[in-house]
Amino acid sequence: DTGVSQDPRHKITKRGQNVTFRCDPISEHNRLYWYRQTLGQGPEFLTYFQNEAQLEKSRLLSDRFSAERPKGSFSTLEIQRTEQGDSAMYLCASADRSGANVLTFGAGSRLTVL
Amino acid sequence: KNQVEQSPQSLIILEGKNCTLQCNYTVSPFSNLRWYKQDTGRGPVSLTIMTFSENTKSNGRYTATLDADTKQSSLHITASQLSDSASYICVASFFSGGYNKLIFGAGTRLAVHP
């Protein structure tokens, strides 16, 4: 499979628990993005990596959220002390070095916080 | 403020009919305009990408138009099929901080009925 892989696809957790999502981008893509999408809305930008460097973080990303991309390959998005408002689809996308910056999205990780 | 607005919010058509989805954007400096198709529970998939110099671009039964003067785009679907049922998201890109940033619309939810 040469697409963007995300794991897990679904996560149900209780409020206050920590969760971690993993994204494996297309291997030759150096750019990686995380987005959050709630029902009936378009994706909202969370953070952007170029190789291993996290170049931008949205103000949506509170202190409870942290993202890493060690070695510039896969990335993880951790949410600590989850709240019900964190329930959403978390989408990962990757892009190559070309100026067009065409994003390829993964299937997403759906989080439900009870 | 950079933003993308789409209309209608939802649309129901009969199989075989044509339809047109609208997108108005306000981003600066404008880089390109993209249309994505998102099936329920899946990540968005790119349909077209157009720069300001391109007025129209086709991808099979999908034809996108762009009017950079009025900052409007449309996506026309010809001879709709049941598999066209999905959300269609308009995305405007602008260049800032050394890379293209994306502003997503909320999408138009299309349902094609037999």
Residues of B with Cβ-Cβ distance to A101 under 8 angstroms: 93, 99-100
Best mutation target, B34, B38, B53, B109, to test chain A (most A CBs within 10 A): B38
Residues of B with Cβ-Cβ distance to A48 under 8 angstroms: 99
Rounded Cα gap, residues A19 and B95, in angstroms: 33
Of A42, A101, A108, the CB nearest to B99: A101
pLDDT in tens, A73-91: 999 999 999 999 999 999 9
CB contact under 8 A, B43 and A48: no
Rounded Cα gap, residues A75 and A25, in angstroms: 8
pLDDT in tens, B25-46: 998 888 899 999 999 989 999 9
Distance of CA B114 to the CA centre of its chain: 24
Rounded Cα gap, residues A48 and A67, in angstroms: 9
Residue of B nearest to A47 (CA): B101
C-beta atoms surrounding B102 within 10 Å: 23
Question: DSSP secondary structure string, chain B?
Answer: --EEEEE-SEEEEETT--EEEEEEEE-SSEEEEEEEEE-TTS--EEEEEEETT--EEEETTEEEEEETTTTEEEEEE-S--GGG-EEEEEEEEEEETTEEEEEE---EEEEEE-
Q: Spell out the per-residue pLDDT of chain A, length 114, in tens.
A: 569 999 999 999 999 999 999 999 998 899 999 999 998 899 999 999 999 999 999 987 889 999 999 988 999 999 999 999 999 999 999 998 776 678 899 999 999 999
Residues of A with Cβ-Cβ distance to B45 under 8 angstroms: 105
Closest CA relative to residue A95, chosen from A45, A49, A57: A49
C-beta atoms surrounding A96 within 10 Å: 16
CA distance B42 to chain A (A): 5
User: Which pLDDT does position A6 carry in this prediction?
Assistant: 97
